[in-house]
Structures are given as C-alpha cells and as structure tokens.
Structure 1
Amino acid sequence: MAVDVSVRAAEHLFAFDHPHAVAPRELTGLLGGKGAGLAEMTSVLGLPVPPGFTVGLPVCLAYRRDGWPADLDDALAAHVAALETRIGRRLGDPADPLLVAVRSGAPRSMPGMLDTVLNLGLTDATVDGLAAVSGDAVFAWDSYRRFLTMYATTVLGVPQDALPAGAAPTDEAGLRARVADLKARIAAAGAEVPQDPARQLRGAVEAVFRSWDSPRARAYRAHEGIDDDLGTAVNVQAMVFGNRDDRSGTGVVFTRDPATGENRAYGDFLPRAQGEDVVAGTARTLTLADMAARLPEAHRELSERLGALERHYRDMCDVEFTVESGTLFILQTRVGKRGAVAAVRLAAELAADPSIALTRDEARARLDDATIDRARAEVVAAARRGAAAGALVRGLGASPGRVSGAVVLDADAAADAEGPVVLVRPETNPEDVHGMAVSVGILTSTGGLVSHAAVVARGWGIPAVVGAQELVVGPADVRTREGEVLFATGDTITIDGTTGEVWLGAATDDGGTAGLTDDEIVARDLPALAVLLGDVSGQPVARTSSSMSSANPT
C-alpha cells in the first residue's frame, strides 16, 4: 500500500522536553493526553519524570490510512539514540542495557483500552547484563518474564491461556525455568519475541497503533461518544522499576476522592510491583497509608507533587507513580474521571479554594445537565435507601450507588441478558467492556480502588464493589473460600458501591425520608449544588449545557 509522503514521521516525534510554542497541556490533539501531561510535567513543572519521547497522533493516522510510514524506523532510531545519550545506557547493550516502556496516549482518556509494553529491550543477552549491573538476578529474570508475557500477548497475539499459569517463582532457578517455558509456549503458538530491541520497539509501537481499532476500544468509544478517527499517540519512556527491591513499588492516586469529591488523596499502592499489576485488578493492593509507613520520604514527596499538580491543572488529577529504591518518579498525570456527586462537590470546592479559585463560570462549565441530574438522583437514592443488615460480604466501595440485578459471570452473558444484571468477575479487563457497559452494577473479588473495574465503573456512573476477597468466582456460581455456594448465575443480588456491601436478594427502600421532597434531600445532602446553581439567596439560576462535562473529562 502506498504511503502518503506528505506525512513525515520525523516531524511528529517529540522529546518530552521539546520546546513547543504553546504550553504542552494544550497539545492533546498532537501529543495525546498522556504525552501532553508528560511534556507539561517535564518542561513546565520540572517534576521527576523519566525521560522519553512521544510519537504524535499524525503518525498513527498515517499508519491507519497507509501502513507503517517509510521514515518512522529512522525517526525512532534517532530519538532512541538521543535518549541513550541522556540516560547513559544503550538499548540492547549486553553489559548495561537501557529498557523502555511503550504506552498509548489517546486525546481522550480510555483507561485500559489501548496497549502497553514494559521492560522492552530485554533479551537473552541483556537479561544477564541487567542482573550484573543491578546485582539482583531475581529482579532481572522476573523483569524478563514480565516482558515476554506482555510482548507475546500484546504484540504477537498469543492467547493468555496458552502461557504458563500460576504464581511466578521467586528464585532465580525457578524464574529461568519459567522464562524457558514461556519461550517454548510462545514458539508452540507459532510466534517468537525478537531478540533485536529495535524490532521489539517497532512491534510495540505498531501494537499500540493497532489497539486503537480493537473491539474493546471501539466499544468503549461508542459508550463515551469518542470519535473513531482521533487515533492515539505512543509514548516511549525510560523504565523505572517498582519491582526493583523492598524500597520500590508503584501506584495510582487521585488528588481527591473521585467518588465523593472529598479533599483527600485516594488510590492504591503495591510494593515490589510494576504499574500494570495495580490497574489489572489481579493483585491485593495496599493503601496510601501503608505506603507512608513503608516509604515515608517518598510518600511525603508524593503528597507535595500531588498538590503542585492540582494547583497547576486547577482540577482533580489522576497520577501514576513509581518508587525505585526509595526515589519517586511521576509517570503520568491527567484530569481525573469522577462520579456525578464528586463532580458537583469538586466544582464548588475548587471555586472556594484560594489556591485554585475557579470562577463561578468556570465551575459551572464543568457540569452539564446530565451530570447534575445524575448527582441529584444519586443523592436522593442514597437518602431513601435506608440501612440494611445481614450483608453477605464486604469489599471496597469503588463507585457509589446501590443497585440490584441478576448475577452474570461473564461479559458476553451481560451483553446478551434482558433486564438488569450485576456483572460478577474475579477482575475485569478491557475485553469485558461491552458487558460492563450494559450492567447496572459490577462486583469483583480482587483489585483495588484504581483497578480497571473501579476506574471504568466510576467514569460511567455504574455502582461497583471491588476486592471482595472472600468470594471465589467460578464458571457457574460464586462460593466462599471453603467451597460453600453463596449465589449462582441468575440469582438476584444487591451491591452498594459506597459501603462495599453485598446482599442476597433485591434492595428495599426505607430511609426514613417520607416527609422530605427530593429537592429538600438534595439541599440537605448536596449543598454544593445549591451553591453552583443558585444565587446568594439560594434561588435557582438557568442551567447551561456544556461539552466540558466534569463527569467525563478529556
């Protein structure tokens, strides 16, 4: 297929600290949301961001139209060489290898829908170099295991169930054996992970481009109303290692609570892990308070960085970070998705915060009619639902609201069901998005507050409970860890995404609010709405519709 020579890839690759003519945060249409955030943090805020470069959206659009641009290999090589000079390591160096992460970066946030490859640059030769320079063979071989698994499934399309299952070994001999098994199974699937890091990089960049047109990404965009023709940028960034040692870890944090709007940091931390471990929802995460106890200096610096980001963006931010051997790195920031009640509270409190001081018009522009109506409905429902006893199990309340529905245990069943359903899974992943979109509630047995299930449900206003660790989700029913059946496909359950409680049967409303109107409940329980919609005497003012819905920020 002929390539459109009018698009020169080299003109659309930018180091994070490239001197753009305007503030990078305004360039999401060129750099994508993640690339714009990385450039803003690097060149404007001076935050501790690992260096790298962004492949701009025009390159993705050229690829989708005409295939791999003729000059993209040379452009990637030039930017890799510049990164090597800055870091002092070389991609593919068997003695001291540079490793990189390859991540997507769409103009609008699409959590988990597009592809990522970490630890790129590991090979049979460089893994020994990493072991030698780090002094830790277990760390090196575990990183190689992670890379082979991610590259095989993400880039080569090898099914996850074709690869070794079970917990990863924790000793060098076991990890070497796991890597050998991985390579054999990848070969049996008719694939091979390249031993040339330049080929690895091309494959990973192309996989990110392809993921824009994956069924899961299309389903998510259809639900969010995102244009299919936008495309995605690609970010290539020097690796930092949350799995390096006991003073390392990774996490995702919101500067305020995205479910309620409360002014407190909200997120998950996972020691000796990499970022995908947190968002995948397969691991038992720790709290930020746990991080403070384990890594007090890194936690203190993180708190300071979160404040700086919120003041700079004048909004609640969603931040990904890694701590490597006690040193904090910020890997991503963006304006965070939030629920409807949180959107109202945030708009009012950010207007009142003297360090941010949104104007009345700015605060109102962040709320469209649909968000306001949903916030009112959630507050009224919460007030009228009353107390309930005899909860079957309790997990983490990840997205507020109480709902009842028939149990379905996979996304296809949710998509095919008639009537309200609650999707129950061990964890959700991007392939489940079509079923999540039609469910009234989501329940998972693993994962934390920033897992895939939590983030997507919160952005869509779907009540969700995650990390209900007492549950074992099977193909036909859900049991206790001792094997007792609690409920099965088709049974009705109720979940409360505020308290994290789960009950058998349908919800009942008995909140003791029979004497109150809906407006009186809203005035009592969500006073921020009156502040935003009324004048000083509390009289309502005209609503304004806006494309800048705070419930679905770009």
Structure 2
Amino acid sequence: MVSLVRPLGPDLAEGPATIGGKAHGLVLLHRLGLAVPPGFVITTAACRAYRRDGRPPEELEAEVDTALAALERRTGRTLGGDPALTVSVRSGAAVSMPGMMTTVLGLGAPPGDGPAAGRAAARERLTEAVTAVLASWDAPRARTYRALHGLDDGAGTAVVVQAMVDGDRDDRSASGVAFDRDPVDGSPGPGGDVLFRSRGDAVVSGRALPLPLSALADREPGAWADLERALGRVRDHYRDACYLEFTVESGRLWLLQVRRAGFTGTAAVRTAVDLARAGVLERAEALARVTPDDLERARRPVMAATAALWTRGTGAGPGVAAGRIATDSAAAVRLSASGPVVLVRPETSPADMAGIAAAAGVLTARGGASSHAAVVARSLGRPAVVGAADLHVEPGRVRAGERWAAEGDLLTLDGTTGRVALGVHPAVAPPADAAVRTLLSWADAVTGGAGDGVGDAERLAAARRLLGA
C-alpha cells in the first residue's frame, strides 16, 4: 500500500499533482537553504479517497500519528502538551486556489486538563482539521473558482501540516507577502504587504489595512535582509518574478509559501522584457511567456483625469470598470443580470467568489495588493481597487468621506491608478508603454513584420505560433 503522508524536506521528489503546489514550493525552499518550519504533507490521493468514500482513508490516522511523532521529536514539543507544539493545517492544490479552501492555524495549545488528555484532545482536533481541509475541496467557492479557471475537479487537494511560527508573538513579529516586482505594473524591486503582531491570515484576508513591505526594513532590518536574499534565490531559480508568504517570529524570518508570481497584463509584459534584456531569458522565451490576453490587458484604458475623485485606494487589478454598486455578493449576482456591477465590500472573503465573478470590478475598504480581493480579481482580469481607507460600507449603501452612495448608484473605478469616482466616466488610452513596444518589435522580427491592419495581439500570436508556443 502506498503511503499517504510524506515528511517535508529537500529529498521529497514528487510533483504538485501528488503533494500539491504548496508542499512542492516548500521543498524548493528547503533545497535553496532557506528557513522553513518543519512539517509533513498528506497527498492528494487522500482527498480523492475522501471524495469517493465520504471519509478519510482508514490508514491515514496511523500515518499521521507517525509523522506527528517525528515532528514532536524534531521540535522538542508535544501537540496539546507542555511545551506545546502548535501546528497549521493548510490546503495545497496542484494549482494555487487562493483562499478557496479551509485553513486552520494555531492548533494544539494545551487545554489545561493534563498532558495525556491534552494530547488526545489536540490529536482529535487535528483529525477534524485535516478532514475539514479535505472536505473544503468541494466547497461552493472552490468549485466556482475551478470552473472559472478551467481546473480539474477530480484532482483533489493535499494537506500541509507544519509547526506554527507566530507573527503575533511580540513587537518583533510580523506576517506578510512579498513580490520581487510590482504585481500591477511589473516594475522591479521588493513590494508587498506586512502586518506587525499579526498572523498571515490577517494579511491575505484583507481584514486589516497593511503596511507597505518596506516597513519591515525599518523595523526589522535583519529579517528584511534575509527576505531580500530569499527573493533573489527564488527569482534566480524560477528565472521569473516570484511570490513569497512569510512570518517573522521575534526577529527571525520563516518562509511559508512560494510560487511564480503568475503576473498578467502590463506586469507580465514588463517582467518578460526586463528578464530578456538582462540575459536571463532569450527573446523567444520572453515572447512565449506573454499571451495575447496579457497584451490586451496591458492596453487597458485608464479613467479620464476630468472625473471628480470620490475615494482612492491601491490599484490592484488594471483597467477601468463602471457599473452599479452592489454591497454584497448576492446583490452583485442579482444586479449583474441587467448590466455591469461593481462589488463594493469592507473586504472580500472566499465566500464572495460568486460576487467577484459576476462583477465588472471590485472595490474594498481594507486589504492590500496581496489580499484575497486583489489576487482573485487579477486572476480573473477584473479591475480592482483595494484599501480605500475612507470607505465605509453598510448593507445597501456606501460612504466615502461625507458623501453617501446607494446600492444601484453608478460608480467608476480605475484599477491602475486606484482612483474611484461616482457616476460613469470616460476611459482614455493609457500612456505609451515602452515594454509593449519592445515586445512587439521582437514579435515582428520573428514574423518578418506586421502587415497593414494587423492588431497588436495578432502580431504577438503570429510570432508565438512560429516559435511553437
């Protein structure tokens, strides 16, 4: 019988289809010599068995016990004991599904009724958490996300169990998300979000308004230097822009997740051109990495400067969206049947997946460029503005500053500049983009030049066809 549990470490050789994308990334971080909390992964086969039988495989409990005992020996702590081992239990599909499945953090604190009873109770909670993650593969929001992105419903999720590192431990602790390039325009340099004395779920959920990543350099320069080194190693490995989730515990950096950044639009074009100019990629490879859809998104208009500003946030998904205000997902789905809507929320949660999918654009009062709203909106090509700090959202109405707007009123947002205006306003062509011009010149060099009347997207598509992309 094939084992369903694997220890996380540099020697784990299986791919994302078996151990999930999250665990696969953690293995990479181990191999790059970076700090990763110890743990183990339950393979996607356990999820497929759960879906088939309606319960976890019988052999899974004993295998988890063995892996947990090894984790307790390695950390010198005991689940539910003293000193206590606390763990995170997270999903890990082969292809990232941000926020769509269950996460359990901080499991294992002792209940105070003795070591034996504490461990038994904590072990039972671990079983419940693993089962909840397996079941969440079929949560409505997860199924909607897979349908929108053309992902395989039958693949299942892995489950990653790791020793917790606590971003809320003290004033020298924090959690955050880092990109090595700006996810909207692709400009180089570390960027992202950080929250001090907070766990990672507060950052990605958008419940709070985070600080810019640069705040970490001011408060914890040692952790910042380690993060810069980590971004460099990962970028060199992928030969691409990258994304890291991290926790700083009492000044020490730990890495919790890594993947290619998966940029679209302007960010994808700028990244590919910059890497080719730096000699990291061949021009043919740069052309293969940018799709005609990316080029179309890079050409998206911006809102005319004549529009009167109502509020401003962080541009998190390029483009202009105009439509009627919907203050919850049910309203967004209902109103979208008769025209475009803009979903306006304090912050979005995974439960808002249907509303985001129905909306032409998304506006939130809280959250940063790495929040759930921003990541999902970018993946769907929706213009988005997040972190509009003066925005106050109530059921059926919204206020920015002293001015109220009702559900159904018209609103225009610019996900490139972060500007938001009431009413419908014209969109204008964006400023000329040097990276787009460069990429198209490389495409023309492959095809021998564009003919009259050939659009930019077709110029790129023709080059990609000749290159076999």
* Alignment-derived partner of residue 63 in structure 2: 75
1:362 aligns with 2:285: yes
> Aligned in 2, Cα 1:107/1:505: closer, same or farther, shift over 3 Å?
same
RMSD: 2.4
Q: Are the aligned partners of 2:88 and 2:161 in contact in 1 as well (CA < 8 Å)?
A: yes
Q: Which residue of 1 aligns with 2:278?
A: 353
3-state DSSP of counterpart to 2:181: coil
Q: Structure 2 vs 1, CA of residues 18 and 46 (structure 1 numbering), >3 Å: closer, same or farther?
A: closer
Residue 37 of structure 1, aligned match among 25, 47, 54: 25
Q: d(CA) in 2 for partners of 1:313 and 1:199?
A: 39
Query: Does the 8 Å CA contact 1:260/1:339 hold for their aligned counterparts?
Result: no
CA distance in 2, matches of 1:510, 1:296: 42
Does the residue aligned with 1:31 lie in a helix, a strand or coil? helix
Q: Does 1:410 align with 2:328?
A: yes
Alignment of 1:21-32 (within 5 A): 22=13, 27-32=15-20
Question: Does the 8 A contact of 2:347 with 2:367 survive in 1?
Answer: yes
**Given the alignment, which residue of 20, 23, 40 partners 1:53?**
40
Q: CA deviation at 1:351?
A: 2.1
2:449 to 527, 535, 539: 539
Distance 2:400 2:296 in 1: 39
CA shift at 1:529, angstroms?
2.7
Per the alignment, residue 241 of structure 1 pairs with 166
- Contact 2:78–2:119 (Cα < 8 Å) also in 1: no
Superposition TM-score, scaled by structure 1 size: 0.77
Moved over 6 A (4+): none
Q: Is 1:272 equivalent to 2:189 in the alignment?
A: no
Give aligned pairs, total: 453
Q: State the alpha-carbon separation in 1 of the partners of residues 350 and 50 from structure 2.
A: 23
Please tell me the residue identity of whatever aligns with 1:365. A
1:396 corresponds in structure 2 to: 314
SS of the residue 1:114 aligns to? coil
1:444 pairs with one of 364, 383, 395: 364
Residue 12 to residue 390, structure 1, CA distance change in 2 (3 Å): same
2:5 aligned with 1:17: no
1:427 maps to 2:351: no
CA separation of 1:309/1:495 partners in 2, compared to 1, >3 Å: closer, same or farther?
same
TM-fit CA distance, 1:525: 6.8
Cα distance between partner residues in 1 of 2:313 and 2:358: 22
Could you tell me which runs of 5 or more consecutive residues in structure 1 were left unpaired when the two chains were aligned: 1-6, 130-192, 514-520, 550-554
**Aligned partner of residue 36 in structure 1, secondary structure:** helix
How far, CA to CA, are the matches of 1:317 and 1:215 in structure 2? 29
Once the two structures are superposed, what CA deviation does each residue of 1:1-49 show, in whole Å capped at 9, x if it has no partner? Answer: xxxxxx64xx1311111624x4x5xx1111110010011111x211100
**Which of 172, 178, 184 is the aligned partner of 1:259?**
184
Shift of 1:470: 0.7
- Does the Cα contact within 8 Å between 2:320 and 2:412 map onto a contact in 1? yes
Structure 1 residue 532 displacement after superposition: 4.4
| Aligned equivalent of 2:213, options 282, 288, 296 | 288
Percent identity over the alignment is 45
Deviations 1:478-537 (A, max 9, x none): 1246xx4421111111111122111111112456x9xxxxxxx76757224324423189
Is the CA contact (8 Å cut-off) linking 1:523 and 1:530 kept in structure 2?
Answer: no
Task: Kindly state the Cα deviation for residue 266 of structure 1 after the two structures are TM-superposed.
Answer: 2.0
| CA shift for structure 1 position 364 | 2.6
3-state DSSP of counterpart to 1:433: helix
1:114 to 101, 116, 126: 101
Q: Distance in 2 between matches of 1:533 and 1:334?
A: 28
CA distance 1:61–1:361, shift in 2 (3 Å): farther
Q: Is the 8 A contact 2:366 2:389 kept in 1?
A: yes
Q: Letter of the 1:415 partner, please give it.
A: V
Check the 8 A contact 1:194/1:200 in 2, yes or no. Answer: no
CA separation of 1:538 and 1:259: change in aligned 2, threshold 3 A: farther
Task: Name the residue aligned to 1:469.
Answer: 389
Partner secondary structure for residue 265 of structure 1 = strand
C-alpha distance 326-538 of structure 1, shift in aligned 2 (>3 A): farther
* Cα contact 1:246–1:272 (8 A) shared by 2: yes
Q: Is 1:88 the equivalent of 2:64?
A: no
Secondary structure in structure 2 of the residue aligned to 1:196: helix
Does structure 2 retain, via aligned residues, the 8 Å contact 1:281–1:448?
yes
Q: Counterparts of 2:292 and 2:358 in 1: how far apart (Å)? A: 22
The one-letter code matched in structure 1 to 2:83 is: D
Residues 1:102 and 2:110 are matched in the alignment: no
* Structure 1 residue matching 2:362: 3-state secondary structure: strand
Q: Structure 1, residues 232-288: CA drift from partner, whole Å, max 9, x if none?
A: 000000110100100000001111111111112221000000000101111121111
Contact 1:102 1:118 in 2 (8 A): yes
Measure how far apart 1:544 and its partner are: 3.0
Identify if the C-alpha distance between structure 1 residues 351 and 485 changes in structure 2 by more than 3 Å, giving closer, same or farther: same
Q: 2:287 corresponds to which letter in structure 1?
A: R
How far apart, in 1, do the equivalents of 2:412 and 2:384 lie?
A: 11
Distance 1:323 1:425 in 2: 29
Judge conservation of contact 1:337–1:458 (CA < 8 Å) in 2: no
Rate the CA distance shift 1:510–1:63 in 2: closer, same or farther, 3 A.
closer
Counterpart in 2 of 1:487? 405
For structure 2, the 5+ residue unaligned runs are 451-458
| Equivalent residue letter for 2:137 | W
Superposition deviation, residue 367 in structure 1: 2.6
Amino acid at match of 1:251: G
CA gap 1:280/1:545 in 2 versus in 1, 3 angstroms: farther
User: Which structure carries more strand by proportion?
Assistant: 2
The whole-number CA distance in structure 2 between the counterparts of 1:506 and 1:318 is 35
Alignment check: 8 A CA contact 1:369 1:544 kept: no
Distance 1:411 1:523 in 2: 35
| TM-score under structure 2 length normalisation | 0.91
SS state at 2:445 partner: coil
Which whole-Å CA distance do the structure 2 matches of 1:33 and 1:506 have between them?
A: 41
Instruction: Answer yes or no: is the 8 Å Cα contact 2:273–2:435 preserved in 1.
Output: no
Matches within 5 A, 1:152-167: none
Instruction: Report how far residue 372 of structure 1 moved.
Output: 2.9
Q: Secondary structure at the match of 2:188?
A: coil
